[in-house]
Amino acid sequence: MSRRTDPVVRRATLEDAPVIARFNQAMARETEGKELDAEVLAAGVRAVFDDPNRGFYLVAESDECVAGCLMITYEWSDWRNGMFWWIQSVYVHPDFRREGIYRTLYAEARAMGRKAGAIGFRLYVETENSRAQQTYAALGMERCAYAMFEELL
C-alpha cells in the first residue's frame, strides 16, 4: 500500500459545499442516528459562504480529495471581552480516520484563531462519542462544566 500524502488544510470555497454537506449528512447519521433534510442542509452550508459573519469552513485534502472538514463559528464573551471560536461540523471520511486529519485541521484553526485574536476554542460532542472526546483531550482541550440545553423553534 502506498503512503498517503500529508494532509493540506485550506479554507473551503463554495465549490466544496457539496462534499461538506455530504460529510455533515454522514456525521449526523453516524453520531446521532439522524437523517438530515438534504435541501435544508445544502442551503445551510451555502449560507456560511454567503455571509462570513456566520463563520467559515476548513477542509483537509489528502490524496487529492477532501478527507475532512470543520466549521468555525463565533461567540462573543462579554466576561472575557473576546471572541470564542466554536468548532462545529467536524467530519473525517472513514478512509482517512486515525491518520491525523483532525489534528491537522485543529492546528490550522488554532493558528488562525491566535492570529485573529480569538480567546479560545469550544466545541460540543455527543456524550457517547468517547473516541472523539479522547481526541479532543489529547489535543489539549478540557471538558468544561457546562451542560447544553436547546429549544428548537
Contact 21, 57 (CB under 8 A): no
Q: Is 61 exposed, middle or buried (CB count within 10 Å of its CB: 0-12, 13-18, 19+)?
A: middle
pTM across the whole model: 0.91
Q: Tell me which residue has cell 500500500.
A: 1
- Positions in the chain short of pLDDT 70: 1-3
User: What pLDDT, in 10s, does the model give residues 16-58?
Assistant: 999 999 999 999 999 889 999 999 999 999 999 999 999 999 9
Task: Please tell me the predicted confidence (pLDDT) of residue 36.
Answer: 96
* Backbone dihedral angles phi then psi of residue 120, each to the nearest 5 degrees: 170, 175
